């Protein structure tokens, strides 16, 4: 029932230029993220996102019982196209009841992750290899995946340090089996999906009833805290793998 309302070993050359190989990243990283956030803010301000979400909501609701499945397919396509899923995941909470939204968004992101993986492993392999080759952080993933495939995929899905959509393609170059990748991805993205869906549901409740549902807030806080704990655990585990 719906309602209207988001490795190759890098040691070569490190001995020759140890300071230069490690200093640039910390200085550039904050500016990169600031630039990305600024661009997202500009896009959110200039693009008619609200109108698009309203059209999507009406379209999905018009499909009745098929709405969640259609939403999942739309989500999967946007994932393959490298569109950030935050907005659609939040929209799932605005359009559907929380549990339906979580299931639909999770199914869509997992399907999109699987399609991107297969594309990265076959059709776009050369392009993905070139992209990964320039990023030591992603090259190191292959080494870790070779040792503990399921664990590493799961932890990387919990960690916010690796961009979800690009990582889908990068995993296609690793030795992880498709079934292992898909299962670990599904379980790893559930906490983050729940956060955005519950947040979208809370926002829709405010708009629809002009009042705030505190029970949803408690749920969001609980999931956020749980995800933060999981992300820290993921960072520690990945640090050990390195």
For the chain, what are the domain ranges?
72-241
Distances (CA, A) of 5 to 74, 91, 138, 167, 220: 18, 8, 38, 31, 18
Most confident of 47-56, 83-92, 136-145, 204-213: 83-92
Residue predicted with more confidence, 10 or 59: 59
Average pLDDT along the chain: 74
Residue with the bigger pLDDT between 98 and 5: it is: 98
Q: Taking 70 as the threshold, does the pLDDT of residue 177 lie above it? A: yes
3-state secondary structure of 84: coil
pLDDT at 140: 65
pLDDT at 36 over 70: no
Contact (CB, 8 A) for 193 and 163:
no
- Would the pLDDT of 201 be above 50? yes
Q: Is this structure's pTM higher than 0.85? A: no
pLDDT value at position 118? 93
């Amino acid at each position: 029932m719906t309602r209207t309302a988001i490795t190759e070993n890098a040691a070569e050359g490190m001995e020759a230029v140890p300071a230069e190989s490690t200093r640039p990243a910390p200085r550039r990283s904050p500016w990169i993220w600031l630039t990305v956030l600024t661009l997202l803010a500009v896009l959110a301000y200039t693009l008619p996102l609200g109108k698009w979400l309203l059209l999507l909501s009406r379209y999905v609701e018009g499909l009745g019982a098929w709405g969640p499945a259609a939403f999942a397919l739309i989500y999967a396509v946007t994932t393959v196209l490298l569109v950030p899923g935050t907005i659609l995941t939040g929209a799932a909470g605005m359009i559907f009841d929380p549990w339906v939204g979580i299931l639909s968004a999770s199914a869509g992101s997992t399907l999109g992750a699987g399609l991107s993986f297969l594309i990265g492993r076959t059709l776009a392999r050369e392009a993905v290899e070139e992209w990964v080759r320039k990023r030591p952080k992603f090259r190191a993933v292959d080494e870790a995946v070779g040792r503990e495939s399921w664990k590493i995929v799961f932890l990387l899905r919990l960690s916010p340090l690796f961009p979800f959509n690009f990582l889908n393609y990068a995993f296609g170059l690793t030795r992880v089996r498709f079934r292992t990748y898909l299962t670990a991805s599904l379980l790893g993205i559930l906490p983050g999906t729940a956060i955005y869906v519950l947040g979208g549901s809370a926002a829709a409740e405010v708009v629809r009833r002009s009042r705030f549902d505190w029970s949803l807030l408690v749920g969001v806080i609980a999931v956020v805290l749980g995800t933060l704990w999981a992300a820290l655990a993921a960072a520690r585990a990945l640090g050990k793998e390195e």
